[in-house]
Amino acid sequence: MKISFPARLSWENFHTVMLKGLKVYAFYLAVLSFFRLVFIFLLQSYMGPASGMSDILLALWRGSRLSMQSAGCLALISFLPALFLHYLLPKLEWFSWRVLNGLLLAMLSILYVASFPFYRQFRMNFNQMIFNGANDDIYALFITMIQQYWLPVRLAGALLLAYGLWRLLMAWLKWTPLENFLRLMHLPLVVRLLGRLAFLAGVYVSVLLGIFGGSLGWQTAVDWENAGVTKDEFLNEAILDNPQAVYRAWNLNHRMLACNGLDFTVEDIRSLAALLSGRQPDSDDLDVYLQKTAGGAQMEQPSHVFVILSESFANWPLLDKYKNIPISQGMRALLAEEDTDYCPTFLPNGASTVSAVTGVVTGFADANLYLTTMPESFKEPYVTASAPQMEKLGYATNFWYAGPATWERIGAFTQAQGFDHFYSRGDFGDVPGSVWGCEDEYLYDQVLKGLSDAPSFNVILNASNHSPYDVDVEAKGFDKEAVRATLPPEAQNDEELLRELGHYWYADRELARFVKAVKAKYPDSLIVIVGDHGDRYNIDKTPSTYERYGIPFILTGKGVHKGTLLADSAGSQIDIMPTIFELIAPKGFTYMSVGSSLTTGNRRGVNYGFWITRNAVGKADTVPLLPESLNGGEPPVIDDQAMQDYINAVRSISWWRPKYGPILDASRLEGRE
C-alpha cells in the first residue's frame, strides 16, 4: 500500500523553505561582518598604536563568530512565520521574506549609522546610556541629534543603505542555479538520500553555531561578556555587532533595575562597613558605621559655600603636557593663587551627569541604582544627604540648574533630598542657551543675583559644555586658530574637536569669572569646582585611563592654602561633602558619609568602574587589580586587598543603604530578582 503525503508536506517544499532560512542566516552574517570591517576601517584612528593586523584579524574572526548568534536570531524572526505561512497560508509567505526582512534591515542600518557618532561620543559601542536616555529630556535629545549629528541626513542614509541591502537579499533568495541544476539531474536514490542527510546536518550545525555564538557547545560559546579578547579597547568594542551591543546595554540595565548586579550578603556588608569606618563589626545598623565626627574647623565658617558641577569639565586640559593649548587659562590662573588648592587625582561618580548629581546630593556612590527614579529617594532625605547636614550648620540650601526641572526629575529629587530651593531655566526668564540649558554666564549671573547676606549652600550644575556645542564661542572671544596651531598635526583639521575645545574654553572662562565675582562680593566664601564627568572628548584618540576619566577637584576661598588638601590625596565625588565638613564644621560636629575628607586622610577614590590613587589608576572589576601609572611609567605597586576592600565597601553600602534602609537584615533580600 503506497502512503502519500499532501503536496505541501513534501521534501521539496520543506527543503525550499529551510534553504531560504539558511540563505537569510548567511546574508545577515555577511552583513554584520561587513559592517564590522567598515567600522574598524573608518574609525581606525581610535585603535591603539600597539595594535596590528593580527589584532584586527582576531577581532574580525571573533566578531564573526559572535555574529552567528545575532544572525541566527534575526533569521528566525522571518523564518518562523514563513514556515507557518508556507504550510497554512502559502499566498502570504512573501510577507515574512520581504516585509519582515525589510524592517529588520532598516533597523540594522539605523543602528549601524548611529553607532559611529555614539562611539565617538562615548568610546563604546551601544551601552547602558541608551536606556538612561529614556529618563532624559527626549525633546533635547532629539534637537541635539538634529543639530549636532545631522539626524535627517543620517536617517536618510541609513534607509538608503537598508533598501540596497534588501534588494541584495531578494536577489540572493531568488538565486537558485545549483538547485535548478540538481533538479535536472537524475541522481540515484542513495545519492539523493545522502544529499538530504548532508543538508539536515548542515541545518543542525548552523543552529548550533547560532545558539552558541560560533561554537558547537556552551563550553566554547562566544557571547558579549567574553568576546573582547584583543588587547585593544576599540577592537574589543568592534567585536560586538550592533544587536549584541544593544543586548549588552539591555542586560546591564536590567541588572541595575533588578538590583542584582551586586552580590553582597549582609555579613559581607557588615564586615566591609566596619573596615571602612575603622571599628568592630558589632552592629546591624549600617548608620553606625557611617557616622563621623569633625576634627574642628580649619577656617572661619564661610558665609556661602558653592559646589560647582561643571558639565564635561575634564582634568586633562590642566595637565602640564597640554599647557600650551589655550583653553584652560582661567583655571590655571586660579590654581596659581595662594587661596586655592587642587587635587588632580579625582574621579566622577559615574559616566553621566545624573551620577554626579546623586553623588553630591545623596553622598552615595554609583552602585547599580537609579536614585532619581527610585521611590525610596522621595520618602525622606537619606542620612548621608548633603542639604540637611549643611542646614545643621546654619545654611539655607539651594540647587541651581541650567536646564529644565523635569530632566531626570532633578527638581523633585533634590527637594525630596532636603534642598530648600531648586532653581532651573524656567526661573531665569528668556536667556540664551541650547535645549540642554542656558549658557553658563547667564546661570552664574542668576546665582549671584539670588545670593543675600544669609548663609547659603549652593550646588550649581551648568550645561554649556555639552552637545550640540552650539554656543557661538568665537563671537565670545574664542581664538580657534590659536588653538588649532597648538594641536598635533593629525588633529588640526578636526573641526568637531575644535568646536568641543571651544566650549571647554568657554566653561573655563565663565567659571573663572564667577569665582572672581563671588570673592569680590563675599570674600569669605568657599568654592569647590569639579567636573560632573570626563570621558567625552580628548585630543588623543586613544587617551590613557587617567586622561580619559579624570576630573579636577579645585578648592578655593578665604582660609584655603596650598597644602589644605593632603599632598597625596585622591578621591571621588562622594568625598566632596566630607571634605567640606572637615574644613568648616566645629569640633565634635557629627555627620554621615560614605566618603571621607581629602584633608584628613583620603588617599583613594573609586567609582562605577575605576579606582585612583595619587600615582595609579585602574579598572575596579579586575582580579587582581591592574594598576596603570599616571605618567606612563612602570605600574606602581598597590595594596591590592586593601583597595579591593575599599571598592567593595563603597559599593555595597551605596547599594544597600538607599534601597533597603539602615538595618542589615537578610530577610529584606527575599524575593529579590
Query: CA 352, CA 257: separation in Å to the nearest integer?
Result: 17
What pLDDT sits at residue 7? 46
In contact, 16 and 97? CB cutoff 8 Å: no
In contact, 304 and 314? CB cutoff 8 Å: no
Backbone angles phi, psi at 10, to 5 degrees: -70, 160
Radius of gyration, CA atoms only, the chain = 29
Residues with Cβ within 8 Å of 438's Cβ and at least 6 positions away in sequence, in order, are: 402, 403, 425, 428, 431, 432, 463
Q: Which residues of 46-68 are buried (b: 16+ CB within 10 A; e: fewer)?
A: bbeeebeeebbebbbebbbbbbb
What pLDDT sits at residue 5? 41
pTM attached to this predicted model: 0.80
What pLDDT sits at residue 1? 42
- Is the CA virtual torsion 577, 578, 583, 588 positive or negative? positive
Query: What nine digits make up the cell of 105?
Result: 534591515
What are the structural domains of the chain? 7-256 (no CATH), 295-608 (3.40.720.10)
Query: CA 503, CA 164: separation in Å to the nearest integer?
Result: 39
Query: What nine digits make up the cell of 516?
Result: 572672581
Residues with Cβ within 8 Å of 625's Cβ and at least 6 positions away in sequence, in order, are: 611, 618, 619, 638, 640, 643, 644
Residues with Cβ within 8 Å of 475's Cβ and at least 6 positions away in sequence, in order, are: none
- Read out DSSP for 199-243? HHHHHHHHHHHHHTTSSSSGGG---TTT---SS-HHHHHHHS-HH
Q: 226-275: per-residue pLDDT in tens? A: 666 677 878 988 988 899 888 888 776 665 555 444 678 999 999 999 99
DSSP strand pairing (571-572 vs 340-347): parallel
What pLDDT sits at residue 193? 66
**Count of beta carbons in the 10 Å neighbourhood of residue 538:** 20
Distances (CA, A) of 409 to 291, 354, 381, 401, 485: 29, 10, 15, 12, 43
Query: CA 498, CA 539: separation in Å to the nearest integer?
Result: 9
Residues with Cβ within 8 Å of 208's Cβ and at least 6 positions away in sequence, in order, are: 215, 216, 217
Q: 404-463: per-residue pLDDT in tens? A: 887 888 999 999 999 999 999 889 988 998 878 899 999 999 999 999 999 999 999 999
Which regions in the chain score pLDDT beneath 70? Answer: 1-15, 86-87, 128-150, 177-193, 195-196, 199-200, 203-204, 210, 214-215, 217-222, 224-229, 252-262, 670-673
Distances (CA, A) of 664 to 322, 530, 658: 48, 33, 12
Query: What nine digits make up the cell of 99?
Result: 516585509
**350: DSSP letter:** S
What pLDDT sits at residue 49? 84
Distances (CA, A) of 457 to 304, 365, 556, 579: 6, 21, 15, 14
Query: What nine digits make up the cell of 656?
Result: 544597600
Peptide bond between residue 624 and the one before it cis (omega within 30 degrees of 0): yes
DSSP strand pairing (456-461 vs 304-310): parallel
